[in-house]
A = this chain, B = another copy of it.
Amino acid sequence: MADVARRAGVSMATASRALSDHPHVAAGTRARVLAAAEQLSYVISPEASRLAGGVTGRVAVVVPHISRWFFATLLDGLEQVLREGGLDVLLYHVGDAADRRDFFQRLPARRKVDAVVVLGMPVHDAERDRLELMGVHIVAAGGQVENYPYVSIDDAAAGRQAVDHLIFLGHRRIGMIAAIDPAEPGWPVLPGRTLAYRAALADAGLPAGPELVVTVPWGGLSGADAMARLLSLREPPTAVYAHSDEVALGAMRTLRRAGLRIPEDMSVVGIDDHPMAELADLTTVAQPVLEQGVLAGRMLLELLAGGSGTDGATVPTRLVVRGSTAPPRR
């Protein structure tokens, strides 16, 4: 289908509409698509296109949190690509470890889908093996995993960008608010973000006292609480690195309520570039979330088309300097 679309100079969606005799396609466009399909010996049959995409024409997308921006945005990008590829998306929310076990046990046995995409959560080796045995492909997006194809940022690199920025500004006493996923307490979601902090401080010869690190469940209000703990230290940090923007925005609320100025009294940097980061003038390390969903979708289409697939893809992050970071007061 991609080849037909390319040869006809139209989008996959348009090519698909033209081939399925859809009424909203201009006659000229349809003729071009049909000609391209003929040249490429493309078989115009729902059965064939189903087989090309697998058996069911459906992909299960599994998410631990539907309503959180990061997961919903991954889903957005993924759905776009799978729909253009003629695949339907079956959405499964798995709230905790028991839910997840249940999902991986039941889904392949029911033969409901050709593939599973997991967004921002782990899959254990036994689960992956089971899917592969049943002929179900698996791809991950939004999390670094080593044992199956994934799309992700490099958490360690992103963390370095954030902490190195604070060090470059002249901060010497830097706190960290580490966020863990309450739904996956056993999965160190962001070890890279924590390791980056320790490595950056060590490289700069700066102290990394345990009192400067606060670990909380992910969330804005948790970030607010964590900031309060840092402010209660005898010697608070002059800058704080938060594992995510939503956590950082919570930390900023505590600073505001305490009458402290950002960035004059305290610098704050996050990771994500959540839409609210721009509205709050939060300096952050931006990650392309929609793009990770899109790339995971393309990776899956390749696998379903019989391609060998890749081990994984890492998308770059970049520092976005806004108004929440500045050199410390002398």
Interface residues of A (CB under 8 A from B): 17, 20, 22-24, 58, 61, 66-69, 71-73, 75-76, 79-80, 83, 88-93, 98, 101-102, 105-106, 112, 220-221, 224, 246, 249-250, 252-253, 256, 275-276, 278-281, 290
Contacts and interface: CB of A to CB of B under 8 A. Distances in A.
A83 B90 contact: no
B66 A279 contact: no
Contact of A90 (B90, B250, B275): B90
Contacts of A256: 281
B279 A220 contact: yes
A88 B73 CA distance: 21
A250 B276 CA distance: 9
Contacts of A93: 76, 79-80, 83
Contacts of A79: 66, 91-93
Nearest to A90: B88
Contacts of A76: 66-67, 93
Contacts of A66: 72-73, 75-76, 79
How many identical chains are in the complex?
A: 2
B88 A112 contact: yes
Given A79-B93, A276-B276, A278-B220, A102 B17 contact: yes
A88 B76 CA distance: 18
A311 B23 CA distance: 33
B224 A279 contact: yes
16 contacts: A22-B106, A24-B102, A66-B76, A67-B290, A68-B72, A69-B72, A75-B91, A79-B93, A83-B92, A83-B93, A88-B90, A89-B91, A90-B91, A221-B279, A249-B280, A276-B276
Contacts of A73: 66-67
Given A22-B102, A249-B276, A276-B276, 6 more contacts: A24-B102, A66-B76, A67-B73, A80-B93, A88-B112, A249-B280
A250 to B, nearest CB: 6
Contact of A250 (B92, B101, B253, B279): B279
A75 B89 CA distance: 14
